[in-house]
Amino acid sequence: MNQRRIGSLSVSEVGLGCNNFGRRLNAAETAAVVNAALEAGVNFFDTADIYGQGQSEEFLGRALGTRRDAVVIATKFGGVMEGRGKGAGPAYIRQAVEASLRRLGTDRIDLYQLHYPDPEVPIEDTLGALGELVKAGKVREIGCSNFSVGQLREAAAVPGDAARFASVQNEYSLLHREPEDGVLDECERQGLAFLPYFPLKSGLLTGKYRQGRPLPEGTRITKDGRMADLLSDRNLVLVEELIQFAEAQGRTILELAVSWLLARPAVASVISGATSPGQVKANVNAAGWQLTKEQLTEIDVIAMQSEGTP
């Protein structure tokens, strides 16, 4: 698989999102998914301390075992760890990184990311603490998640030799294009790698949810009432249009969803979650379509036309 850069790190174009570990998958099921990813050429694994309240990190570290040096591990801090704290304060960062290292069973984290902006802590304090971790060899690169253009600029403007973010991880897909309102341009201006999460919009961009057809049983969207708005008329109409476009090219909507993201220069890796080895292989195989400028323009036209759908 082709690789791209996050600072000093070289990562596979398709990464494995580990948010299902410790939530929907137990340790054995996690190991099967991790093994499939490694066999398919994935070297980038993205998790967070709050996924399964630590179990995702624990299961990932256990599944990798002696293969840890062959991969790039990204994790996040700052979300609520029940009974243990949250946020981006220096004292908590030092506590959180030790806990993540222990759960992952490693002596360093390749990409350590602030999960959410913390309005109660000056960004220079956060960067100062993260810089100490880099100097100590416990972290190789640092990143942020869910940051706006203004927040990225504020971090970049911290004076002196403060540590600098190498990446930003925000939601981005054919059905959620908010990063195009400035964040992607700011990434290119600063030389930041962009990591899109929810690239398949919780399965909508795999073709399993179709307009006018029965909903598949047991899926996350159908089981979680809070996600019902994803199945709006606008989204389902756009999905049908995108399926037609992809099939006209002899491709699938999954290939379109992944390859469209990789056509963005700032994107380093498409982080796709998976609950089975088969899903991992499908996500990896979806990365091979080199979209032309004309095709990208046609996709934009399809999306704009669907904006008028209620």
Which one from 51, 92, 197, 209 is the annotated catalytic residue? Answer: 51
User: Six-digit token pair at 12?
Assistant: 């596979």
CB 43 within 8 A of CB 3: yes
Q: What are phi and psi of 78, to 5 degrees?
A: 115, -30
**Residue 51 annotated among the catalytic residues of the structure:** yes
Q: CB of 255 within 8 A of CB of 283?
A: no
DSSP reduced 3-state for 15: strand
Find the helix or strand (DSSP H, E) in which 288 lies.
Answer: none
Element (H, E) at 31: helix 27-39
Tokens found for residue 52: 């399964």
> Measured between alpha carbons, how far is 41 from 59 in angstroms, rounded to an integer?
20
Give the integer Cα–Cα distance in Å for 146 and 116: 6
Active site residues: 51
